[in-house]
Amino acid sequence: EAGVVQSPRYKIIEKKQPVAFWCNPISGHNTLYWYRQNLGQGPELLIRYENEEAVDDSQLPKDRFSAERLKGVDSTLKIQPAELGDSAVYLCASSLWGGNEQYFGPGTRLTVT
């Protein structure tokens, strides 16, 4: 069974540029999470989807961040415009609805210069 797939693995952009990350969860997993992990810190939840519905986006900086999961499967996280402080690893995870275990993808390491 394929795990959570994320692309790209690495991205370097200049500040004020847009960037997008893509995630394909494990087949059959209704719940999808986007986390941001700053250097030396644990992951922080940005948004959580149940199917195509964003059920928790309280930590998503909505002025510059947006996310979508149109068909309830794969998801895209976008930053526009990027700031220097957005440099981090962006992790996607998925789980069965109500499941205890979240399965994480390899992450996208974003560097904003």
Partner 1 sequence: AQKITQTQPGMFVQEKEAVTLDCTYDTSDQSYGLFWYKQPSSGEMIFLIYQGSYDEQNATEGRYSLNFQKARKSANLVISASQLGDSAMYFCAMREGNSGGYQKVTFGTGTKLQVIP
Instruction: Look up residue 59 and give its DSSP letter.
Output: T
Q: Which of 32, 93, 110, 112 binds partner 1 (CB under 8 A)?
A: 93
Taking the C-alpha atoms of residue 107 and residue 39, their distance in angstroms, rounded to an integer, is 13
C-beta neighbour count of 1 within 10 angstroms? 6
Alpha-carbon distance of 47 to 51, in angstroms, equals: 13
- Residue closer to partner 1 by CB (options 72, 81) is 72
Q: Which of 17, 41, 111, 113 binds partner 1 (CB under 8 A)?
A: 41
Closest Cα partner for 95 from 27, 12, 1, 23? Answer: 27
Closest contact distance (angstroms) between CB of 78 and partner 1 is 21
For partner 1, the closer CB: 18 or 37: 37
Residues in the interface with partner 1 (CB under 8 A) total: 25
Binding site residues, partner 1, CB under 8 A: 33, 40-45, 48, 55-56, 89, 91, 93, 97-107, 109
